[in-house]
Amino acid sequence: MEFNSFYPPQRTLMGPGPSDVHPRILAAMARPTVGHLDPTFVAMMDEMKVMLQQAFRTTNPLTIPVSAPGSAGMECAFTNLVEPGDTVVVCQNGVFGGRMRENVERCGGTAVMVEDEWGQAVDAAKLEEALSANPEASVVAFVQAETSTGVVSDVKTLTEIAHRYDCLVIVDAVTSLGGSPLEVDEWAVDAVYSGTQKCLSCAPGLSPVTFGERALHRIKNRKSKVQSWFLDLNLVMGYWGGGAKRVYHHTAPVNLLYGLHEALVMLHEEGLENAWARHQRNHLALRAGLEAMQLELLVAENARLPQLNAVVVPDGIDEARVRQLLLADYGIEIGAGLGALAGRVWRVGLMGHSSSKKNVLVFLGAMESVLSTLGGAIESGRAVAAANKVLL
């Protein structure tokens, strides 16, 4: 059997992630590999920590990229902050709240679920009721940007409620970091994890995390060992600590970290608030174009996540066929619905490098064509014209 080098097709990634990786980041990852304890690499690590702090809007010293994807960042937060017997209030309004529950239970904790309908933000009143009914709870966990539904929840309010009941807060910001306002210090969030493959435009495989003083105190004063050796921050801190002297913990993914460093340099150049505004502007243009095609967004306007748009599939349209034609004829990837929303929505991402005027307009033109081919009542050109009015 003969094997050849793999050359992937050129795609425009407009699904729930990964997003398109910027050429500058791809070039950075192709630079010569050095040792993970090389003094030049250690200096880059220190720079990266500062830029990650800026992206999270925090001064937390324990702000690092976990050497694994966002799901490992989630596990890192839970394995370090949850011990056997702990009660954790988990807010679920989509797929990833369910994964939080799995983590709590695998840590030996008890998950008290606060459930909201998929497509709605976490209800602050329900969280307060759950905390009042479970005074033994020590942690509250929720998703800021629910990728499965395109909903953003109110981190500031939910954190304030949790702190009134003396609970630490774990926030999933995998799809929000770099794309939506996230003020870790101002909102006093205790622990946050994210991913590199969404609004940072980097390749998948790293999970930026940040832990505040309250969280760090709990980590250092655990009664039991962290169940994961690899994700035990008491050990990892020896490698990611400050200064030139580092204790070997694992062989870091050197070239991936080059890519993240470049992504953070680019975010610094653009300006964090400008990046937030860009994601919002392109979302509004996309919305205008979708509405011109008589397509609806699942989520109410006050809870919409700009970088992930859940578009309701019209009656009589084959949801999967639309995605197939977009990919085959235009090279555009969008996502299907998950769980309760399977077959009911398309998930259209505008994340990082993929969040551009060009992508909005090309996608809308392609969507018009595909829906017309499948019998949709579409008037050609209206969607692009509507989006252009927002973008001008």
Largest CA distance in the chain: 65
Is the domain of 256 the same as that of 330?
A: no
For 299, the domain range is 271-391
Which residue among 246, 268, 290 closes a domain? Answer: 268
Q: Pull the structure tokens for residue 239.
A: 């490698």
C-alpha distances in Å from residue 12, one per residue of 184, 197, 256, 385: 32, 14, 21, 21
Report the percent of the chain where pLDDT is more than 70: 99
Residue 225 belongs to some domain of the structure: yes
Is the domain of 49 the same as that of 154?
A: yes
Residue 2 belongs to some domain of the structure: no
CB atoms within 10 A of CB 72: 21
Question: What's the whole-number mean pLDDT along residues 48-57?
Answer: 98
335 pLDDT tier (thresholds 50, 70, 90): very high
CB neighbours of 358 closer than 8 A, spacing ≥ 6? none
Is the domain of 178 the same as that of 293?
A: no
Is the domain of 49 the same as that of 81?
A: yes
Q: Rounded to an integer, what distance in angstroms lies between the CA atom of residue 224 and that of residue 114?
A: 27
Q: What is the pLDDT of residue 380?
A: 78
243 pLDDT tier (thresholds 50, 70, 90): low
Query: The domain that contains 303 carries what CATH number?
Result: 3.90.1150.10
Domain tally for the chain? 2
Is the domain of 281 the same as that of 180?
A: no
Is the domain of 241 the same as that of 306?
A: no
Is the domain of 336 the same as that of 242?
A: no
- Rg of the chain over all Cα atoms, to the nearest angstrom: 21
Residue 18 belongs to some domain of the structure: no
Is the domain of 56 the same as that of 184?
A: yes
Is the domain of 196 the same as that of 69?
A: yes
pLDDT digits (tens, 9 = 90+) for 270-329: 999 999 999 999 999 999 999 999 999 999 999 999 999 999 999 999 999 999 999 999
Q: Rounded to an integer, what distance in angstroms lies between the CA atom of residue 360 and that of residue 220?
A: 47
- Position 207, amino acid: S
How many degrees, rounded to 5, is the angle at CA 244 between CA 227 and CA 65?
Answer: 40
Residue 199 belongs to some domain of the structure: yes
pLDDT digits (tens, 9 = 90+) for 62-94: 999 999 999 999 999 999 999 999 999 999 999
Q: Rounded to an integer, what distance in angstroms lies between the CA atom of residue 48 and that of residue 262?
A: 9
Which residue among 239, 268, 297 closes a domain? Answer: 268
Query: The domain that contains 169 carries what CATH number?
Result: 3.40.640.10
Asked if 81 contacts 157 with a C-beta cutoff of 8 angstroms, the reply is: no
Residue 9 belongs to some domain of the structure: no
| Residue 244 confidence (pLDDT) above 60 | no
Residue 17 belongs to some domain of the structure: no
Residue 358 belongs to some domain of the structure: yes
Q: Pull the structure tokens for residue 109.
A: 């904790």
Is the domain of 302 the same as that of 232?
A: no
CB neighbours of 311 closer than 8 A, spacing ≥ 6? 290, 295, 296, 297, 298, 345, 346, 347, 348
Is the domain of 278 the same as that of 260?
A: no
Residue 14 belongs to some domain of the structure: no
Q: Pull the structure tokens for residue 218.
A: 């709990």
Q: Rounded to an integer, what distance in angstroms lies between the CA atom of residue 75 and that of residue 229?
A: 12
Which residue among 268, 290, 310 closes a domain? Answer: 268
| Residue 50 confidence (pLDDT) above 80 | yes
pLDDT digits (tens, 9 = 90+) for 103-162: 999 999 999 999 999 999 999 999 999 999 999 999 999 999 999 999 999 999 999 999
